[in-house]
């Protein structure tokens, strides 16, 4: 059996979903443009403009990460990641997929529990810090810019805690992952002599999971990060094919672009049939949302990414998906092999509703649910494609990450937006700093306060 990810885009076609789908001639009319964008990507990559695509080949950096990870594993009971957004979501995604959501309840001996803060909700942060004795805990502070308020606040709190509880050698419990040259965290790490790992230049938060940002926590919990990178590099080769019908990332981007602009499918749903892939959905959501949603010539570009979990959301969102507005493009993610299965015992043979389940297995039921839900979407003329993971393995995760990064960058190019910036995120970061009284932001603060007063009221 093919061990690679497989893609079935036939459910986006007019022959499956009628006029809500795409005609072969519309897709072939776009082929020249698609291949030109692929060429441009390759050309820019040769010029050093896409360093995230080369992360699977950074052997020295991986060796350095593995070295630190081994030391952490031998010494600490907890690994706490201080960071947010692209400096946290990839860590959680790798962990949930490859270690499982319940890892912390019983990690194997010699492996740390992993906690990813990804917020400044005081209850959430307090609960995690309470669970981790600082004397047994390693804290990885991750921020590309080094100036994100959430991460700095988490760090200020943890540093204080460590100094009080661990004493003068508290720095041994800390590692800062940040820009190699600049930013406040780099300055602090230099001043206070903390160990550091670099976020490679030109690699932005949501594209950084295969840099030290995402790899250290994964390696510390024993994930085979080299296998993830092998999967990514295998997909890299597939994503270079100059053939629209044979290049999954190019076709995925092209079909989504056409569905968005020619069929008004403005919501992209990732429908994941695997609990372990739940956070892969969250990672995908950020990659699409933050890369694509921007002003473009003639208006605003973007699609709203949504995450659904099968079969749970069959009993929550499926009604809307099948009979609500036809404004969505669905990507169903199917897993073929599960490392375990559970039998469904046969009983009550006289009751038709129970009888047919007996003797089947949970994997078979899960698969039938996936096939049934997908059929219902197609029957209701909702464009639906499918990505098949042979299994949830490090290689498959690596393939998916690389595939999705290339696809999203191509989609941004079609839409005429910059995949790598996030001015909307920066403006909220600036507003927060102004509201908290950062020096030099007085004018911004006055603007925010004036705006709050000049609305229509409607407060109860």
Contacting residues toward ligand PA5, per CB under 6 A: 84-87, 143-145, 148, 151, 204-206, 290, 422, 425
Tell me the closest approach of the beta carbon of residue 42 to ligand PA5, in angstroms: 24
267 torsion bin: left (phi>0), alpha (psi -120 to 50), beta (else):
beta
Nearer to ligand PA5, 144 or 402 (CB): 144
Is the preceding omega at residue 311 within 30 degrees of 0, hence cis?
A: yes
Tell me the closest approach of the beta carbon of residue 117 to ligand PA5, in angstroms: 12
Please, which residues have CB within 8 angstroms of residue 252's CB and are 6 or more apart in sequence?
7, 9, 385, 403, 407
Beta-strand runs (E) in 225-297? 267-272, 294-296
325 torsion bin: left (phi>0), alpha (psi -120 to 50), beta (else):
beta
* Dist. CA 371–CA 387, nearest whole Å: 13
Nearer to ligand PA5, 233 or 422 (CB): 422
Nearer to ligand PA5, 150 or 374 (CB): 150
- From the CB of residue 130, how many other CB atoms can be counted at a distance below 10 Å? 8
Tell me the closest approach of the beta carbon of residue 320 to ligand PA5, in angstroms: 28
Nearer to ligand PA5, 209 or 239 (CB): 209
Please, which residues have CB within 8 angstroms of residue 342's CB and are 6 or more apart in sequence?
361, 362, 363
Please, which residues have CB within 8 angstroms of residue 218's CB and are 6 or more apart in sequence?
91, 94, 95, 98, 225, 228
Q: Could you give the residue numbers annotated as active site?
A: 290, 315, 429
Nearer to ligand PA5, 100 or 424 (CB): 424
At residue 391, the 3 state secondary structure works out as strand
Distances (CA, A) of 404 to 55, 109, 132, 206: 15, 35, 35, 11
Give the residue nearest to ligand PA5 (CB): 205
Tell me the closest approach of the beta carbon of residue 212 to ligand PA5, in angstroms: 12
Q: Are 266 and 260 in contact (CB under 8 A)?
A: yes
Tell me the closest approach of the beta carbon of residue 152 to ligand PA5, in angstroms: 9
Tell me the closest approach of the beta carbon of residue 421 to ligand PA5, in angstroms: 9
Please provide the size of the chain in residues: 460
Nearer to ligand PA5, 217 or 334 (CB): 217
Tell me the closest approach of the beta carbon of residue 422 to ligand PA5, in angstroms: 5
* Dist. CA 159–CA 340, nearest whole Å: 42
Nearer to ligand PA5, 92 or 386 (CB): 92
Start-end of H helices in 84-180: 89-98, 122-131, 149-166
DSSP 200: P
Please, which residues have CB within 8 angstroms of residue 446's CB and are 6 or more apart in sequence?
none
């Amino acid at each position: 059996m093919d061990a690679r990810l497989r893609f079935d885009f036939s459910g986006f076609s007019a022959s499956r979903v009628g006029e809500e789908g795409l005609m072969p001639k519309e897709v072939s009319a776009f082929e020249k443009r698609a291949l030109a964008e692929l060429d441009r990507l390759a050309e820019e990559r040769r010029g050093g403009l896409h360093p995230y695509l080369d992360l699977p080949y950074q052997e020295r950096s991986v060796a350095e990460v593995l070295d630190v990870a081994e030391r952490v594993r031998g010494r600490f009971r907890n690994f706490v990641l201080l960071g947010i957004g692209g400096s946290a979501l990839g860590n959680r995604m790798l962990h949930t997929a490859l270690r499982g959501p319940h890892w912390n309840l019983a990690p194997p001996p010699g492996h740390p529990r992993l906690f990813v803060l990804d917020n400044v909700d005081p209850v959430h942060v307090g609960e995690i810090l309470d669970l981790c004795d600082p004397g047994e805990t390693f804290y990885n502070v991750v921020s590309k810019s080094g100036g994100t308020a959430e991460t700095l606040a988490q760090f200020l709190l943890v540093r204080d805690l460590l100094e009080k509880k661990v004493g003068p050698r508290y720095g041994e419990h800390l590692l800062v992952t940040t820009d190699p040259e600049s930013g406040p965290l780099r300055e602090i790490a230099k001043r206070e002599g903390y160990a550091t790992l670099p976020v490679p230049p030109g690699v932005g938060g949501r594209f950084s999971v295969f840099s030290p940002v995402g790899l250290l926590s994964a390696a510390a919990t024993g994930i085979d990060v080299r296998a993830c990178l092998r999967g990514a590099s295998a997909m890299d080769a597939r994503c270079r094919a100059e053939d629209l019908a044979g290049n999954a990332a190019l076709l995925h981007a092209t079909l989504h672009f056409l569905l968005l602009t020619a069929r008004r499918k403005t919501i992209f749903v990732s429908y994941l049939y695997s609990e372990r892939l739940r956070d892969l959905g969250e990672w995908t959501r950020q990659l699409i949302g933050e890369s694509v949603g921007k002003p473009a010539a003639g208006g605003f570009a973007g699609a709203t990414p949504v995450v659904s979990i099968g079969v749970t959301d069959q009993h929550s969102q499926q009604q809307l998906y099948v009979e609500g507005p036809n404004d969505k493009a669905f990507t169903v993610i199917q897993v073929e092999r599960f490392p375990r299965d559970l039998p469904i015992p046969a009983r009550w043979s006289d009751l038709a509703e129970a009888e047919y389940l007996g003797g089947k297995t949970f994997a078979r039921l899960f698969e039938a649910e996936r096939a049934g839900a997908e059929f219902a979407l197609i029957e209701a003329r909702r464009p639906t494609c499918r990505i098949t993971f042979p299994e949830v393995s490090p290689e498959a995760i690596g393939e998916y990450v690389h595939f999705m990064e290339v696809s999203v960058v191509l989609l941004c190019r079609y839409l005429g937006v910059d995949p790598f910036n996030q001015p909307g995120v920066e403006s909220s970061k600036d507003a927060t700093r102004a509201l908290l009284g950062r020096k030099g932001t007085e004018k911004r603060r006055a603007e925010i306060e004036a705006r709050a007063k000049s609305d229509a009221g409607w407060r109860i």
